[in-house]
Amino acid sequence: MNGIFAARKGILATALMTSIALVTSVTLAGAAGSPAPNSNGCTGGQLGITKRPFGATPDGTAVDVYRLTNSHCMRVKIITYGGIVQSLKIPDRDGRLRNVVLGFDNLQDYVVNNSPYFGAIIGRYANRIADGQFTLDGVTYELPKNNGPNTLHGGPMGFHTKVWRARVVGGQDSVGLKLRYTSPDGEEGFPGRLETAVKYLLTEDNTLRIRYRATTDEPTVVNLTNHSYFNLSGEGSGAIYDHVLELNADAYTPVDPTLIPTGEIAPVAGTPFDFRSPTSIGARIRSNHPQIAVGRGYDHNYVLNQPPSGLGHAASVFDPHSGRVLEILTTEPGVQFYSGNFLDGTLIGTSGRFYRQSDGFALETQHYPDSPNQPSFPSTVLRPGEEYDTTTVFRFSVRG
């Protein structure tokens, strides 16, 4: 798995790092050949990365936006606040570029209004921890409760609110950003000082590859993910009900009324949760299944049919309107499929339109929710001397 990911850190990468320290806005790399024009104006572009200011947090910390491009018309913007994927543009079947992730066009909204966690790195613990507490090695840790009785997505000041240190990385066929954040011992109630690195890599095959690594100096729990919401027809274009989803999972983890897993691993067969064959997201979202009622739609962790090691195919999503396809591979054992149920028409997105329920979906690769309190689930414990190391791949293509 690690071998697949390894970027070629050559002279180019070193040059990029040096350059980026010296300039605020300049195209830093041009490794690709001549642009590949197509009939709809996308000229292909170049493998490269630029950096610009994106404002400052209320305490005055500067935030930057990095724009990653490849020579096949894929463009990704990542901001150092929250490690947020702020924009991701890819061509449709006719070559037209649209931004396919939900978000905001300014930092202020991310700081004040990002209750949906648009595009953010989530940590230390993605998803919910029951009653805001867990016990590890006989010690009980109390966490801030920010979702009814539970802790959600690392607490109110989780990784999605941190300004990450950025360094440009990449090689001949890729360009990327390595983000680092040191979470002090006790932050948001979690034990141990956690050294965290998240690497975003854009490759020439229209793939965004994310590698998460962490080490600790005390036993702790860790579960990192990215919380991008996708709409393959384009952000702000309406609901994603027609998107056709395929999920490589025979089972899911049903939840109680506060969305904490009951501990059961339930088969999806015969339920609206069965996406083993491609099915539109909207086809069964209004079914009266009790688990759909609890989630107000889909908001559930799927137990992936994973290979014994390495990257496994988790999901693919096809948008029949644009022809765009998103395939997700991961080393993680689970994925939270969230159909944007709590988007309620109160937030104005990047292109100036209100987001309403199901205007985007998230597929959050992860360990199962509440694993620290569920001994039968795969462990999320990280101990000193061990390394947390997971990879998730978002690969884009088009279909006729």
Confirm or reject binding of residue 117 to ligand GLA (CB under 6 A): yes
Task: Restricting to residues 290-329, name those near ligand GLA by CB under 6 A.
Answer: 299
- Please say which residue, 66 or 355, places its beta carbon nearer to ligand GLA: 355
In 268-387, DSSP assigns E strands to 279-280, 299-304, 312-318, 324-330, 334-338, 347-348, 354-355, 361-366, 381-382
Residue closer to ligand GLA, measured from CB, 43 or 258: 258
Query: Mask: binding to ligand GLA, 248-267, rule CB under 6 A, as x and -?
Result: -----------x--------
Instruction: Establish if 335 lies at the interface with ligand GLA (CB under 6 A).
Output: no
CB under 6 A: which stretch of 80-88, 277-285, 309-317, 334-342 binds ligand GLA? 334-342
Asked whether 180 and 165 are in contact (CB, 8 A), the reply is: yes
Helix (H, G, I), strand (E, B) or coil at 282: coil
Subset of 342-371 contacting ligand GLA (CB under 6 A):
342, 362, 364
Shortest Å distance, C-beta 63 to ligand GLA? 22
The least CB distance from residue 362 to ligand GLA, in Å, is: 5
Q: Is residue 332 a contact point for ligand GLA (CB under 6 A)? A: no
Residue 132 makes CB contacts below 8 A (sequence gap 6+) with 142, 143, 144, 145, 149, 150, 151, 189
Annotated catalytic residue, options 72, 160, 227, 243: 227
| Pick 118 or 212: Cβ nearer ligand GLA | 118
Structure tokens at 380: 């999320």
Q: Which residue is nearest to ligand GLA (CB)?
A: 338
What's the CA gap between 34 and 247, in Å, rounded? 38
Q: Does 81 bind ligand GLA (CB under 6 A)?
A: no
CB 302 → ligand GLA: shortest distance, Å? 12
Is 355:236 a contact under the CB 8 Å cutoff? yes
- The torsion angles phi and psi of 147, rounded to 5 degrees, stand at -150, 85
**Residue 164, amino acid:** W
Best CA proximity match to 313, nearest among 293, 291, 335: 335
Q: Any contact of residue 92 with ligand GLA (CB under 6 A)?
A: no
Report, in Å, the least distance between residue 52 CB and ligand GLA: 28
Closest among 183, 182, 186 to 141, alpha carbons compared? 186
For residue 148, count other CB atoms closer than 10 A to its CB. Answer: 13
Give the CA angle between residues 43, 175, 304 to the nearest 5°: 105
Stretch that binds ligand GLA, among 22-30, 70-78, 316-324, 336-344 (CB under 6 A): 336-344
The tokens 């029951």 sit on which residue?
Answer: 130
Nearer to ligand GLA, 13 or 304 (CB): 304
Shortest spacing between CB 61 and ligand GLA, in angstroms? 24
Selection from 43, 45, 86 nearest residue 65 by Cα: 86
Element spanning 51, H or E = strand 48-56
Residue 41: C-alpha distances to residues 18, 231, 351, 398 (Å): 33, 22, 20, 17
Rounded to the nearest whole angstrom, what is the least distance from the CB of residue 290 to ligand GLA in the complex? 17
Does residue 220 bind ligand GLA (CB under 6 A)?
no
Phi-psi category of residue 149: left, alpha or beta, with phi > 0 → left and psi -120 to 50 → alpha: alpha
Min dist. Cβ of residue 181 to ligand GLA (A): 20
Determine, following the binding rule CB under 6 A, whether residue 116 of this chain makes contact with ligand GLA. Answer: yes
Query: Closest distance between ligand GLA and the C-beta of residue 117, in Å?
Result: 5
- Catalytic (active site) residue 227: yes
Count, residues near ligand GLA per rule CB under 6 A? 11
Stretch that binds ligand GLA, among 161-169, 261-269, 323-331, 335-343 (CB under 6 A): 335-343
Given the complex with ligand GLA, which of 190 and 338 has the nearer CB atom? 338
Q: Of 187, 188, 332, 364, which one is the catalytic site residue?
A: 364
The tokens describing 203, both together, are: 């490759």
Instruction: Give catalytic residue positions.
Output: 227, 364
Positions touching ligand GLA (CB under 6 A) are 116-117, 127, 152, 259, 299, 336, 338, 342, 362, 364
